[in-house]
Structures are given as C-alpha cells and as structure tokens.
Structure 1
Amino acid sequence: MSKELKKNIGFLAALSTVVGVVIGSGVFFKPQAIYTATNGAPGLGLIAWILGGLITIAGGLTATEVSAAIPKTGGMMVYIEEVYGKSLGFLTGWMQTVLFFPGTIAACAVIFAQQASELLGSTSDNMILVLPIAVGIILLTAFLNTIGSSFGGYIQTIATVGKLVPLVLIIIFGFIRGNSTSVFNPMVGSGVNTITTLGQVLVSTLFAYDGWINVGAIAGEMKNPGRDLPRAIVGGLSLVMAVYLAINIAYLWVVPASDLAMVTSPASLVATKIFGAIGGKVISIGILISVFGTLNGYLLTGPRVAYALSKDGLLPGSRMLIKVNKGSSPYNAIYLISILASIYALTGQFNLLSDLTVFAIWVFYVLTFIGVIMLRKSKPNLNRPYRVPLYPIIPLVAILGGGFVVINQLLTSPIISLGGIVITIIGFPIYKYRIKKNSQ
C-alpha cells in the first residue's frame, strides 16, 4: 500500500480549511483591548482589522512558497532549519513548545473561564472561580485528546458550528436592530499616539487572524496547488477579514466603542443588547463552544511539535515524550503542553498572554518571510510547486508589516517582549547540551 498522500483537495476544501483554521476566539474578545488602547475611539480599531488582514494575507502567500517547496512534517521549524540551520530550527520548535502553544492555550482557557463565570452569575475578575475553570478546561481537553486524534477531529467539527452561529446572528441582527452609533469617528481618543497605538491594536488583530501558517501543510495534498492555494489563501483570508469587519461594525452599530472597552466579552454585551438576557446567554454559550474548539485545535497540534523534537532526542525527557498510546496520541507530549499552559493560565491575563504569544511567533514568521527571499537566491533550482505572486512585493509587505508589529511591541511592551525573548533563548544552551549528549 502506498504511503504517499493523495492529491484530492480542491479549491473549495482548501478555502473552507483556511476559514475554519483562522476564525477563533480573538474576534469575540479582542475588541476590548483594541478600544481600550484607542481610548474608546472606533476608527483606528477598524483600520487595524483591515491592516491585520492584509499583513496576514501577504504572510500566508509568502510562507506557502516555502511550505510547498519543503513538504516535510514539522511546519515552520523545518522551514527555518532549511534556511538558517539546525540550531535556529530547534529554537523555533522550542519557542512553540514552551511558549506559543501553551501560552495560546492558556489565553483561550482564561477567556473561556471569564466568559463561563459571567454565565454562572459571577464576575469575570473573580479569580477564585476563573482560575480553577481555566486549569480544569485545559486538563479536560488534554484528557480528551489522549483518547485519540480522531476524537479531537470530532470536537473541531462541533466547534466550527459553534463559532459560526454567534457570528452570523450578531452580524445580521446587529445591523437590523442597531441604531448606528459612531462607527468610524473619532479615529483615536484624546492623549493617544496614533503610531504606537496602531502597533498595539495590530497585535490584537493578528492574534485573531493567527492560524494561517497551518494552511500551507495541505499543499502536498492539493490537486493543483500552484493555481488553487493562493486563491484559497487570498479568498479565505479575505472572507475572514470581511466577517471580522462586518461583526466589528455590527458591534459598533449596537454599542459605542467606549462601552466595548469596558467589558471582558464585547460580543456577549452586544448579544444581550440585541436578543435580551436569555438570548445573550445562548449566544455566549455558542462563543464558549468556539473558544473551546480553538483551545482544542492548539492542544491537538502543539504536542506534535514537542513530539517531533523528541524523536530527534532534542528535548529533555525525549524518551518519555515520544511515547504514543493506542489512539495514536503522543500522550506525554500532550500533558507537557497542558501543564505548561496551566501554569501560564494562573496569571489570569488573556490580553497579556495573547500579546506575548503574538510577539514570539511573529519574530519567527518574519524570519520565514525573509527565508523565502534567501531561498530564491541560494537555491534557485529548488522545485517550487507554488511561487508567491508579485514577488518580491508581497514578501516585502509581509516582512515590513510583521517587522513593524515586532519592533513596536519591543518599544511599547518591553517587559512582555523581553520575557518572550528570554524564554526562547533558554532553548539554545539546552540544544547544545542535548546535541553533545546525543553524540556521546
């Protein structure tokens, strides 16, 4: 029997994959951070949703060239290794294992717990209730994923429905029942620096758009990746951007930006205004299902990076982390990610955790974009089933957009950024030690 992946994915399947992977928790909860940063003004927030979408589309189109040219398991760390060498490739996987995946899972768990506590009649800042729920939902999801990878797939299907229902209902009824509060003006509130604030709100929108890097993984299974993959990326992310813009305008159609800045769950506030208390709670349950699906998706994929590093003996405890159960799940790797996520979740800070992970991952995204240009020069004859269109303009848009966000985050949130850098750099001596030990 052939072990080759069949090329049976067409344009529509690829398009739906893009939309399904990207839409998650950020669109429901990030408006609070955005309109807090703009001091209650709506204009710059909406511009950030557009710019975040354009940077993401450019990034997706660029990264897909290297993912199609290097169709190996491991994702971004494989691309980084190919271009920059094994040590930086390891640091990519290390960052994803100890920071990006557990940090993102923790952020989703915290916002899930805050939403759940409000549904239970408490407040979102009641840490006596929030923290146990956050840790509990991480450990529950970890247990469900150890049952088997197919079970995790069922959860994703249910969650996709859960995320679409509240989105569609809020958009439709928001425009019908809203009464057009100011949507685009003013651009920023008093005392706000437009440039630095743009960087801050872009971090929030890029969290909502994240997940696109995984789309390149299906390139090897597409019937015609050269034609259909860029169409799926541009079409899918454009559709996501349109949905994000529509729902944010719907939010503002119903509730002013200054009010959205004051609540943990802007979507639930808007839903309650539209549908009343009971209807708002029903929509909130749909949002919870969506967040749970996002959390599950990251806990489904994150341990595979730890597993891949452990197969090469590069992580401490590699012999334990490569163990797989009868359901084909790397259960020890799953529990490693979930324990780290539980520790991060004890901060109880959704925006801090999500900003930390966006900064960390975008450093490596920018390196990937630069790597596409470097590979064009160093390996011009490399087989490229797909080439980024409008080269080098699209890669440069991705590099400049991502670079602006990373540098701005370093300047405006140095403690968070340096924390991410330190956690990542710790991996370097560990890599050197493991390489030395393995060679002995």
Structure 2
Amino acid sequence: MENKGLQKNLGMTAALSTVVGMVIGGGVFFKPQAVYSATGGAPGLGILAWVVAGIITITAGLTAAEVSAAIPKTGGMMIYIEEIYGKKLGYLTGWMQTVLFFPATIAALAVIFAEQATSLIGNSSLLLPIAIGSILLLAGLNTLGSKTGGIIQTVSTGCKLIPLALIMIFGFVLGSGENEIMTPLVAEGVNAGSVIGQLLIAVLFAYDGWINVGALAGEMKNPGKDLPKAIVGGLTLVMAVYLTINLAYLWVLPANELAAVSAPAAAVAEAIFGPIGGKMITVGILISVFGCMNGYLLTGPRIAYTLASQKTLPGHQFLVKLNGSQAPANATIAMALLASLYALSGQFNLLSDLAIFSVWIFYVLTFIGVMKLRKDQPNLHRPYKVPLYPIVPLIAILSGSFVVINQLLFAGIQTTMISLGGVIVTLIGLPVYNYMSKKNQESTKLNKAS
C-alpha cells in the first residue's frame, strides 16, 4: 500500500532529530568491551573503528534512502527487496528478520539489561530470569497497542541522552586524561588486519537503525534536497557522539580496563561519580536499553504479522490475529518466546554479532538493488537520488561485503560456525516459502472447485 495519505510536513530539523533518535541505542554503552577485547586492550584501532563504521553507515543510509523514496510502501527492507528481486527473496528477508535479526537483537539487549540489573542488586544468579522476564514484560505491554509502546519509547529516548551527556561532559572534566588514545593500534601479538572485520561487526551494532531513515522520505517537504542532509547530518552527529563518548571513556579508564568489564559505561561512571553516582548513571543506561528493546519488540512482530497475513509463515492463522487493541499480540508473544530462547545463551556479543551479520547480508542486497533499479527502471520516479552515484553505493556495497565475508570466513572458527548457522537458518526460509506457497495454491484451487 503506497503512502499517498502521508502529510509532507517534515522539515530538516525534525528529520535530523528523528535520524539521531532512531540510531542511538544501547550499543554505545557496552560495545567498547568487545572492541578493546579484539584489539588486545589497545585503543587506536578501536577508536578508528567507530569512525570507519560511521562512514560506512552514512554511505549505507544515503544509498538505501533512494530505494525507500522510490518504493514508498509499508514494510521496509522486505518490500524493497521483493520489488527489486522478486517475492522469494523478499520473503527470505522477512523470514531472516522474524527468526534471526529481531529476536537475536531483543535477546542481546535483554542479556545486557539483566547483566546491569544483577550488578546493581548484587545477585548474578538472577541474570536469566531478569533477561527473560524483561522480554516477556515488554511483550505484554506491547500487546496493549502501539500507543503504549510509543510512550515507553518517548520516555526512554529522553533518558538515554542523560547518561551520554553526563559521561561526555564529566569524563573530560574529572578524568585524568593520562591514558593512551591512539597508540598502539593493537596490542603486541594481535594482527590489525585480522581483527578489523570483528571490530566493524561490533561497532555496526551501535549504528544499527539507519535503515528506517529512508521511510521519512514520504513525509518530507523536500526529500530530494533535505533527506541527504538529514542522513549525513544526523549520522555524522551520531558518529561525533560515539567518538566523543569513547574518547571520554579512555580519558577516565585505559582500554585494557574497558576490555575487562561487560559494561564500560557503568565502570567509567563509577570512576567519575563514585559508587552512588555510578549506580544512578547505570539506572539511566538500564532505562535506555529497556527502551531500545521495546523499539525492537514494537517493530519486529509487525514483520511477522505481515508474512502471516500473506499466509507464508507456519502458524499464520495464529500469528495474523489482532487483539482488542488492534495490536499483533500473537506475533508479539511468539517473537518474545523466540527471543527468550536466544537469551538462554546469556551472550550479548555473540547474539548481537549474529543479528548484525544476518541483516547486513540483506543490506548489501538493498545497496546492489539501487544500481539494479537504475538499470531496470530508469524512468521510475525518484524523489531522492543518492549523491555521487555510483561512488557512494559502491562504497556501501564493498564495505558491507567485506564485513559479511570476513565474519563468515576469516573471524575464527567459532564466529564462522555461528555465522554459518545464521546462513542455514536464513536459507531454511526457502523450503518453508515453497511449502507454504504450494499449500496456499492447493487451498485456492479447492476453494474454487467448491
């Protein structure tokens, strides 16, 4: 369904703030641990990874926005890929989001939420009950309707900016500034070339959310002019915030100490403000992560609901039902249960890396799709065209391909096995699609015959 009824009332400022709000989430508070672990406790390449991933994200946002503006339909990336490559690949996108990306991301956030909560209350044995309990609580709240989810989102968005601002300001004011920032690039014995892909997959988790930016095109007064400005401006601002807070972390604690704690932001906050102040900042971080989890539980089930409404998901009769609040309650509960299964691993970095690896395969297809659409449909109305074509799309394609291939082949046996598992789970969608399509065709024939 085309967004013909959308009012074109978004200006530059509103669009830019929306970009920033959609991207800044929980990753910036926790991913430095994975980053500095990969570098062996050295700061230099870790800091560079935040800049490089930011540039990749900007090229990705600028490229994908052309498809979003040219195909103004509800459903996001799944619809773009279906329009460009056909129904089967479109379905595979939605399948991957339903069984891998959304539940793994929700589970990763739930695990890190539980780690922080158990650290506050001093009882690590409650990690899994809190992780699963937070998922089920948010799922329950989201069955009350999108308005409830929206309120949680608004409150948490405000709260996530408070710990960010306090750490950035007081980190530089009260930190010693004696720690190394750019040297060494990696610790002795660590090969910089072999860890760069690992660093990027970690940092790109913090930048994720940019794919939603293109959806703004239908509501902008002048998308051709303002959308690239909003994307470049918004994502550059996010990159500046991420770079600044990581410099603030290092201003207070050295990289090898940040590598040793699961919550670097909380450790830095405690070093700055003392135990009580640190706990207060941790509460702010908890609210931010809770809101981030809510965002994924608000949007993810709607992908499952869309597939169920097309009768291509097993159990679609159950998943397609709306409750009295007109919320896809069954799809929400199903995704929450799947996320709870993932959360049993208790591994934040493993889950978030799996989610990002899986989704970036389809991001790259989206970038290639921009060039394919230019060739196949040169006369298609494009309210916005990616600047510096084809350079920007090529940077997005090559960067994304590097991240995916590196994770699959060169990031160590454990990472390769997990990535292969992600590919296999995604590809299971093909026989599921074929089976459900055949079943639907048979059902249609029976109905016509009767």
TM-score range for the pair, normalised by the shorter chain length:
over 0.9
- Map 1:7-406 onto structure 2 (within 5 A): 7-122=8-123, 126=124, 128-180=125-177, 181-406=179-404
Inter-partner Cα distance in structure 2 for 1:370 and 1:31: 31
| Aligned match of 2:445 | none
Structure 1 ranges of 4+ moved more than 3 A: none
2:420 to 415, 418, 421: 418
Distance 1:232 1:53 in 2: 15
Which one is further off, 325-334 or 387-396?
Answer: 325-334
Q: Which amino acid aligns with 2:106?
A: I
* Distance across 2 between alignment mates of 1:3 and 1:237: 28
CA shift, 1:93, in A, is 0.1
Count of aligned residue pairs for this structure pair: 435
For 1:191, give the aligned amino acid.
Answer: G
> Does the C-alpha gap of structure 1 residues 3 and 378 become closer, same or farther in structure 2, counting only changes over 3 Å?
closer
Partner of 1:428: 430
**Separation in 1, partners of 2:392, 2:43:** 29
Q: Distance in 2 between matches of 1:109 and 1:165?
A: 21
Q: Aligned equivalents of 1:5 and 1:131: distance in 2?
A: 42
The equivalent of 2:447 in structure 1 is none
2-structure distance, mates of 1:196, 1:388: 32
1:76-111 deviation line (CA, Å, top 9, x unaligned)? 011111111111100000000000000000000000
Instruction: Report how far residue 3 of structure 1 moved.
Output: 7.2
CA offsets, 1:263-311, max 9 Å, x none? 0100000000000000000000000000001000000000110111111
Range that drifts further, 369-378 or 190-199: 190-199
Point out where structure 1 has 5 or more consecutive residues left out of the alignment. none
- The alignment partner of 1:30 has SS state of helix
SS of equivalent residue, structure 2 residue 118: helix
Tell me the amino acid that sits aligned with residue 150 of structure 1. K
How far apart, in 1, do the equivalents of 2:16 and 2:291 lie? 19
Letter in 1 for 2:232: V
C-alpha distance in 2 between matches for 1:405 and 1:207: 12
What one-letter code is carried by the residue in structure 2 that aligns with 1:213? I
Aligned-residue Cα RMSD (Å) equals 0.9
Identity within the alignment, %: 66
- d(CA) in 1 for partners of 2:141 and 2:225? 38
1:214 Cα offset (Å): 0.9
Residues in 2 aligned to 1:217 and 1:99: alpha-carbon distance in whole angstroms: 22
Residue 326 of structure 1 and its aligned partner are, at CA, apart by 2.3
Query: Distance in 2 between the 1:273 and 1:161 partners?
Result: 24
Which TM-score applies when normalising by structure 1? Answer: 0.98
- 1:223 Cα deviation (Å)? 1.1
C-alpha change, 1:3 and 1:389, in structure 2 (3 Å) is closer
Deviation of 1:218 after TM superposition, in Å, equals 1.9
Report the AA paired with residue 277 of structure 2.
G
